Every structure is written in C-alpha cells, then in structure tokens.
Structure 1
C-alpha cells in the first residue's frame, strides 16, 4: 500500500506522524494499532488519533470483509456500513424493504426473513461459490436466522441459542431464571384463549404479548377473567391471534420505577453501559408523554442496574452486539423484564449519544464485523433526558413552534415531526412520536421541573376526524334523502365497460341495504402493479378517513400465482381491498396498518373482481364487517413490490414521469445527465422555481415531485418526455450531475 506524495496527511498531531509513515510500518509487518504505535510513536499523546489509525489499518487490508446482513426495515445499519471501509455487503430482506438499498446493491429477496430454510437456500444460490466472513441482523425478526446461517456457514458470531434467548421472550425468561436473576413468572400460550384454562398458574393481573416483538406492540394488561373475555372478543384479541407467534402471559410487576440499560458487548463482556430511568412506566402510556433520564453516578440504583446488565448478558450467552435491557424497581428489589440484542428505538440511541458520545448503531455494526469498537465515552455533566411527545388521532390544528420549545430552560434539541394539517393515527407502538425533545440539567430534580415546564408550554391541538373506524355510518357528505353517502375509489386498469359493471354490482348491494355509494375511478396503466401501488398510496394521501380503496389490476407475469384477497384498515382509518399482489405494501409501509383480514373462498372464475369482490367492497363501505372479520391476516404477509430508487412509478397524460428518488441538495439550473440502463437519454435542468415558464420548448426539466417529498418529476416543456425517450412505468432511471449552476 502506498500514499501519493501529494496526499500525505498528518495522522498523529502530537508526534507529527503522517499517513505515509504509518503505511510504511504496515508494509514492514505491523498488523495492529499497538504495533503501529510501537514503530511510529503515533497515538502516545492525547489519544485522539486512535480512530484514524484504525481506518488506515482497515484500508490496508487487501481483502474486504464480506458481510451477510439479514434485515427487515432498519435503515440505520446502512448509514453505518456506508462509512465502513472495505465491506462487501449481501443483504437478505423482504420485497417491501428493497427500496432501502440502491439498484446496484447485492440484495437477496425472500418472502419472510424468519423462514430459515427459505433463507438458507436463497443465500446459497445468491453466493454462488463466494464466501461470507460475518453474518449480522439488526432486528429481532432476523437474528435467529442470522445466527443459524452464521453457524451453518462456519463464521464467527452469536450462537443460535443466544439469538433465540435474546428474541424469544419465554426462552429469555427461562434463561434468566436459570441464572438466578429475578424475573416475573410466565407461561407460554399457543393462543390468547388458552389463558382462560391456565390462569390459575399465575396471579392476576397478567400481561399478554407476542413471544417475538418490539416497541410494546400488542402488549396488554388483563386484570381478571371478565376483562380477558372482553379482550378476546374485540380487535386486540383478533390481532393477538393473527400476530403469527405464540403468546407469553406473565404476571404484572407492581413497580415503583422502570429503567433501561443500554450497552455494547464484545467477546461476551460489556465494554459500555448507560443506565436510565423512564419518566413513568411505559405500559399503557402510548397516548401520554414518556421518555427517560440518565441515572446519576451517585444514585445507588446505578451500580445494581449495571451489575444486573452484566449478569443478563452472561445468562443469555451473548458474544457481541448492542443491548437494551428493561428493569423494574419494586418494593423488594429489581426485577428484569427483558433484553434485546440490538440498539433501542424511540430516541434512546440519540439520548445515549448525546450523554456519552457513544453511537450504539456504529459500535454494534463494528462488533458484528469483528472490528475493534471505538468507545471512548465523554459523559456529559449532570443528567440528560429525552422526552417523547405522543401523537393523538385526528387532524393537527396547532402545534407549539420548535423555537418556542428550544428557548425553555434545559432544552438542548427539539425534533417536531408533525405540523398543522397532518392527519395522525392513534399510537400503537412506543416508537410513534409527534416530537422528541432532549434536555440536560445539573440534577434529576431540576430536570424533572424543566420537563414539567416543557409539558406546560407544549400544545398539540387536534380536530377529531369526522368518522371513526368503528362507526362508518357518519359521513360528512349526505344525499338529499338524508342517508349518508359512502365513498369508494376504484384503482384499476379495467376502465371501460368493466368499470361500469363493477359499479353496478356495488350499487345493487347498496340498494338492498338502503344505502348510497359514490364510486370514483383512478385509472392504472394496464398490467402495472407498480403504477397501482403508487396510485393506491396517492389516493390514501388525498381522500378522507372512511374512504374505501379497491385496487384491481389485470395480472401480469411478475406477480405471484396465488390469489389471496385481503382487506384492512390503515392507522388513519382508510379501508383497502384487493388481491395481495403488492399493491398495498407502499400504503402499509407509510401509513401503518391497524388490522387486516383475508377474504376466504374467492372463486377462481373470470372477473371475480366484479361478481364476488365488488359486493364485498360495498359491504365494507356500508360498515357491514361482521362476516368479513373472521379470518385475521398477519400484517407482515402484506406483499410489497420493493421498488428500487429511480423506478418510474407513473407517467401522466402529458408524458411527465414520476420517479421514486430524492435528488438531494441540487441547485436551481444544475444540469443532470439522465440514463436508462446503458443508454443515455438526455440532459435535464433541475428547476426549483418558475418550472416551465422560463424554459425553451423541448427542454427536459426535473423538479421535486408534487406527489411526495421523496420523489422527482421529469417532464418536457410543451412536449412528451416519456414518448420522446421511450420511458415507461417500471423503468429504472439513473443520473449524474454533469454541470453545476
């Protein structure tokens, strides 16, 4: 390895050691930082150049680290890996998450990352004789499969037993019990109904939750048998049955305080840990402010929490990774809730970074790569906190400006995620936020006072939605006869008399029930699942709660053979119906899903979309759901087409193309060179104002999309861009900046 004479930066300022001197030491046989230090004298002073030495060392390796990452929807590891030199990544993920990766990325798609056998076969086929050095998963759903694949491929990593103990809540409880760590008594159920027969094994109240899951999703407290019966007959019971996992029932812990401890483990030893106390116990508080503050160094609880964290790590057999341990302080001492072997959510990673300087995502990825972690904590003085501001269902009328909150004592950062006009769903997970505020103070007591001050000033004014998911009989529009009008939007490529036939089937169903329907058409490009997914998502963004979206597209050669018809409701109260061919993945990803069901016994006959499904759409619009809610469907089975950046998702009647891509920080009049595959199409001017007025006829321009912030529109001034350059829905465009303004 050589360094050009014109590029020889000083790496160690204390000893004035340059990069060329370090590479010379490496060429002479130095193989680690200690050896470099011994030969060159670098890193013997202030120590700040340690990371830079490590970067030079990693860059000197001739062979990159080959990583297999089993990922769901986590984007944070992608950021970290982009900054790690010499890593070749193969990603195993699901179609609905393909959009997270660039087109050139080596991505292996499977329907379910929890399906070990399918994952194994897919990875072996994709590797085609190539080797893997490490296997890593940043999510609970993929960690067991990642550990098994690592063991199968003979690479270092966490064992399958450790991964299972960190993700399967009942196995976790048994491992902690075996190590003598205090935990709540628990039993494993194959269905929530089984608790009625086994309740005598526990004491009421009881906490029910899926055996695998995160973010407090579907975690509920049941106080007695009567409340259990009520829960089983309602939507929460249906969701628990449809979650796709066994259920853990554990005794409710009467706690005085709830804590979490977040750390980094290398070689089975905790190399960093930070203890924090939640502002209030989390369970049942999704609609109220929450958050946590660091435990002061002189608090006696801190040492016990750190000690329990180390015991938990040993009990589950964890070799490396980030950790998030939940603990409860009771009248008789601490009880451990659970451990997750991944960085926490809900703003805690940033909370840890602000207080200690440690990036849990970066260190967990480096540990997975087998590289030295870079933990040199710089703990902030006093106590730090993060405050979660929850969403409330409805339309935002007013939210306190961020600058007003930043001006309050103790506030160090404000991240508001809502603005007036936004329509918010009710929170179903602890990671759903309207805003996140970071604070710091000299003591816990003063910090609590400052948090109360923030909550006194903060306002989120909500206008309730005109309808709710449980009562669709109230609509803002009504007919002259006073009967509410139900709105249905049909997203389809059946735009001729076929659409009229579908409308007729819906109207006939509505007349029989003395209801009135308003049916609208949104035409789709023929045979295009991509265009259908985009238009379904666009309709959901522009129509009011209670609207029923029926998506029906003639089947192309790209979709799966099976014909499962589903219906569901988004967190914002829109109902969607159609075949599970990928049309609803984008919608589910962006707006969230409250519930979803399968429509059984769909006849495999010509145009069942008219004869069988259209009447069902009408019944859903009229609120007649009882017979249609008997077959819960797992949300994670909703297919996603998995479009890559640059995909053309729509071409309008003027030939303007809507592209799934964010152009980034371009300036007005920057010139882009557009490409389709290996073919250069044309140059395009980036326009940020006066879009077409200042351009010459025939010029191609691009600008931030009028549909979604993360998209781009490309068009031709008084011309047809798509026809002129042969661009169609489903094409993938690329570009580079050819000339800056």
Structure 2
C-alpha cells in the first residue's frame, strides 16, 4: 500500500528556536499522521477523553511517541487549561503555537487555546467560521452575495421561508459538517419527519449554477495562494449515493474568479491572522455566491489533492503557517488531481474488498488507502466522508480525472454482510 506523503517537514530552523505546536487530535487523518512523523520532537497532542472512542488503537500506538494531554470529561475547561499549563511546563519545550484541524471541536478547542495562552480564534471569529447563519451574515457585511437564509425552529418557519423563496430548500444545523443532518427539501411533506427541536437549524435557498471549492494558506493576515477544486457531484448528492470526489484544478480550467482576492476579503474582514482556509462557493450566471468557509485543513483528502496537482509538500506548508513561518510554495506540477472516496455500502462485516495494490495498478492512481479489511466490522453513516478508503487520481484535465475515477469505481468491489441479530431465546 502506498502510504502517501513522506514528510519533507516544515521549513528548517535552528533547533534552539523551533516552536512547539499543540494540535487538537480527535481523529486520525493524513494531516495528523504527517505531523506526527514530521515533528517528532516539536508536536504535542490535545485530546478529549469524551471522544476517545474516535481514535483507534492502531493510531494511538502509532502516535504513542508524542506527549498527549487528555482533557477530562465533565471537568470545567478552565481547570483543565490550568492543569495543562502545569503539565506543559514540565515538557522539554512547552508549545507556543496552536493548530485545530477539527471542525466540530472549534468552539471548545479555541476556548482551550485562549485559556492556555496560545494563539487562537476569538469568540466572534469562531462564530463566523462555525455558525453558518452568523457566517453568512458576515459574508453579507463584507459585500458578498449569499443564498437567502434564516434560522428556523418549526415546520411553519420553513413553510413561511418557502412561501417567499420557493422550493427546493436546504435545511441544515447551523453547526453541521460533512452534511450530517443536512437535507434537500423539495416540498412541505419533506420536513414533517425531521425533529427541528433536536438542533439549531437554518434553511437556505437552493442555488443552481456550479459549486466550487477553494483552499488557501494564510500567513500574517495574507492569503499566500488559492487552489480551486471541482466537485463532480454536490455534497448533498454524495450522501445520497453519488460519486464522492474532489478534484484540485492546477490547470486553467478553474472558475473565472479572482480566488486570492475572494479569500483575502474574507480573511481581512474576519481578522484571521494565519491558518488553512477551505471555502465553498457557487457561480450562478457569472455571479459569485459565498457558501461556507472553515479555518482549518479541508476534510477528506482535499489538501493532498493540491500537493499532487501542484507538485509540492502541502502538509509541510500547512504546518509552517501554524508554526508562524512563511512557507515556500515551490510548485513543480500543473495538472488535475483528485481524491475519490471509495464506497461503504452498509454496516456489517466485510466479506470481500479490492486491495490497495490492485487499485494502484489502475490508470492515474498515485496513492491508494483501503481501510476496510476482510473480517472487519464497519459502520456506514449518512455523511459526506463516509468511505471504506480513498484513492488519489491524476490527469491532464478535470474530465480525464473524472473518467478515471469512474473506471476505478467499476473495478472496486466491497461486500458487506449485515451483522445478524441473535435469535431470541425461547421461554
């Protein structure tokens, strides 16, 4: 199996001036694994006991060489931050920089960093990049177009919005990610089975046109570069079974939009000093509509796509901006490169699955990871990151990459047998 990027590491600096980084670690990812290899002496992990079940034992063993601080469940965060400061003071080098790659932990992670005296996003900034209604209000304050939107608490609220803006509508929790609990409503009947009291929901007008993504690195308040991505299918179609892929466009096929200027307007308007920005936007009849933005590495394998498309170490560059250093962006390629998430058709026991070695022999495949092995128990979820693994596929154009992805899906097989419930015992 190709294990992906070998760490070239962030920009070299003298050992006595290297900053240590505290990184939130609530799930294994290509970025966190890279950081663990690239910064063996300068990385400290911040973990939350409440979410320990999301970290598999293999990953905990893989990162056992790194110091890790566990935030206890049910203990006031201020008390845990005080305990962390005492704990960190005993390390060879206490962290002076902070990175949170986790979208769902933004609120608690940034508040912890503030209490620990580390660089962090303020409360308003967290709201702007996490609460989708507050985010869209901020976009509009910055002069950007957005879909019409409103918070809703009942089916009647949804119907009133639809009376003004029409169907279909998109219903989502304001703090959702990966399309969890997000729905496309085509009429009033669609909302009847949704518990709108369970979460803080918003509704927004469904936009046509083309949906794009763009990522960029920020250093000292400046957007250093912007990398567009095409999506063969929108996320809401993906959770209903469409091909799950993103394609970094290193060629001239990208949208006719000044992407660095678009990101810079938002970064400046939100007062973002540094980090990785990931944004979704729409182009409708030549007009740009801002969708959503996150200030953390993009999900799935999108960052790695950019590395493959432009021929540079994207993870090292990302670590640089979180370590307070300006990265060198030396691009050696200009092509299209995408991540195709391999399907996971259901929950149960894996009976048969195509191997990574087989996938690596297919045209355009430069990396392959198959997480589900024969005999493993897997759980499928209605989420845009639901997958049994992924492949990275390169090509000369968006169309060629997408064509190769479809051939991969034709060649990939996974069989999952549902777990049988035990027969009831007769009395």
TM-score, normalized by the shorter chain, greater than 0.5: yes
Alpha-carbon separation, structure 1, partners of 2:45 and 2:254: 46
Other-structure match for 2:79: 121
* Alignment CA distance shift 1:312-1:222 (3 Å): same
Other-structure match for 2:72: 110
Alpha-carbon separation, structure 1, partners of 2:164 and 2:102: 32
Count how many residue pairs are aligned between Structure 1 and Structure 2. 405
Q: CA deviation at 1:278?
A: 0.8
Q: Deviations over 1:304-327 (max 9, x none)?
A: 344423333233322111111112
2:295 aligned to which of 334, 341, 344 = 341
Aligned with 1:283: secondary structure?
helix
Other-structure match for 2:389: 435
* Alignment CA distance shift 1:414-1:89 (3 Å): closer
Alpha-carbon separation, structure 1, partners of 2:110 and 2:50: 22
Alpha-carbon separation, structure 2, partners of 1:289 and 1:358: 27
* Alignment CA distance shift 1:171-1:442 (3 Å): same
Other-structure match for 2:148: 185
Alpha-carbon separation, structure 1, partners of 2:73 and 2:273: 29
Other-structure match for 1:144: 107
* Alignment CA distance shift 1:360-1:454 (3 Å): same
Q: CA deviation at 1:350?
A: 2.2
What is the correspondence of 1:466-481 to structure 2 with a 5 Å cutoff? none
Alpha-carbon separation, structure 2, partners of 1:358 and 1:120: 40
What is the correspondence of 1:679-698 to structure 2 with a 5 Å cutoff? none
2:46 aligned to which of 68, 75, 91 = 91
The answer to whether the 8 Å contact 1:326/1:338 transfers is yes
Other-structure match for 1:312: 266
* Alignment CA distance shift 1:360-1:110 (3 Å): farther
- Kindly report the root-mean-square deviation, in angstroms, between the aligned alpha carbons of the 2 structures: 3.5
Alpha-carbon separation, structure 2, partners of 1:82 and 1:383: 27
Alpha-carbon separation, structure 1, partners of 2:36 and 2:326: 14
Q: Deviations over 1:384-419 (max 9, x none)?
A: 222222210155444344444333322223323334
Q: CA deviation at 1:346?
A: 1.5
The answer to whether the 8 Å contact 2:40/2:66 transfers is no
Q: CA deviation at 1:263?
A: 1.6
Q: Deviations over 1:220-268 (max 9, x none)?
A: 1112211111x22xxxx3xx644xx41121111123x322112211111
Q: CA deviation at 1:337?
A: 1.4
What is the correspondence of 1:3-152 to structure 2 with a 5 Å cutoff? 55-57=12-14, 59-61=15-17, 65=19, 68-73=22-27, 76-77=31-32, 79-80=34-35, 83-84=38-39, 87=42, 89=44, 91=46, 93-97=48-52, 100=60, 102=64, 105=67, 107-111=69-73, 118-128=76-86, 133-151=96-114
What is the correspondence of 1:148-187 to structure 2 with a 5 Å cutoff? 148-151=111-114, 155-187=118-150
Scaled by the length of structure 1, the TM-score of the pair is 0.49
Q: CA deviation at 1:353?
A: 2.2
The answer to whether the 8 Å contact 1:260/1:276 transfers is yes
Other-structure match for 2:406: 452
Alpha-carbon separation, structure 2, partners of 1:119 and 1:190: 30
The answer to whether the 8 Å contact 1:206/1:222 transfers is yes
The answer to whether the 8 Å contact 1:322/1:361 transfers is no
What is the correspondence of 1:505-654 to structure 2 with a 5 Å cutoff? 516=426
Q: Deviations over 1:392-447 (max 9, x none)?
A: 01554443444443333222233233344445443322222123222222233333
The answer to whether the 8 Å contact 2:249/2:309 transfers is no
Q: CA deviation at 1:151?
A: 5.0
Alpha-carbon separation, structure 2, partners of 1:68 and 1:382: 34
* Alignment CA distance shift 1:315-1:343 (3 Å): same
Q: CA deviation at 1:175?
A: 0.7
Residue 346 of structure 2 is aligned to residue 390 of structure 1: no
**Where in structure 1 do 4 or more consecutive aligned residues deviate above 6 Å?**
none
Q: CA deviation at 1:97?
A: 2.7
Q: CA deviation at 1:451?
A: 2.8
Other-structure match for 1:227: 190
Scaled by the length of structure 2, the TM-score of the pair is 0.80
The answer to whether the 8 Å contact 2:211/2:280 transfers is yes
Other-structure match for 1:632: none
Q: CA deviation at 1:351?
A: 1.6
Residue 318 of structure 2 is aligned to residue 356 of structure 1: no
Greater relative contact order structure (CA < 8 Å, 6+ sep): 2
Residue 179 of structure 2 is aligned to residue 216 of structure 1: yes
Q: CA deviation at 1:367?
A: 2.5
Alpha-carbon separation, structure 1, partners of 2:114 and 2:371: 42
* Alignment CA distance shift 1:377-1:356 (3 Å): farther
* Alignment CA distance shift 1:379-1:97 (3 Å): farther
What is the correspondence of 1:240-389 to structure 2 with a 5 Å cutoff? 241-242=197-198, 245-255=199-209, 257-286=210-239, 287-299=241-253, 301=255, 303-370=257-324, 372-389=325-342
Aligned with 2:78: secondary structure?
helix
What is the correspondence of 1:694-709 to structure 2 with a 5 Å cutoff? none
* Alignment CA distance shift 1:352-1:132 (3 Å): closer
The runs of 5 or more residues in structure 1 that have no matched partner are 1-49, 468-474, 478-484, 488-515, 518-741
* Alignment CA distance shift 1:241-1:356 (3 Å): farther
Q: CA deviation at 1:78?
A: 6.7
Other-structure match for 2:4: none
* Alignment CA distance shift 1:200-1:120 (3 Å): farther
1:406 aligned to which of 350, 360, 364 = 360
* Alignment CA distance shift 1:215-1:361 (3 Å): farther
Q: CA deviation at 1:167?
A: 1.3
* Alignment CA distance shift 1:357-1:213 (3 Å): farther
Q: CA deviation at 1:373?
A: 3.8
Q: CA deviation at 1:123?
A: 0.8
Asked which structure has the greater CA Rg, the reply is 1
Structure 1 stretch displaced more, 387-396 or 168-177: 387-396
Alpha-carbon separation, structure 2, partners of 1:270 and 1:199: 37
Q: CA deviation at 1:364?
A: 3.8
* Alignment CA distance shift 1:191-1:318 (3 Å): farther
Q: CA deviation at 1:149?
A: 5.0
Q: Deviations over 1:642-698 (max 9, x none)?
A: xxxxxxxxxxxxxxxxxxxxxxxxxxxxxxxxxxxxxxxxxxxxxxxxxxxxxxxxx
Aligned with 1:214: secondary structure?
coil
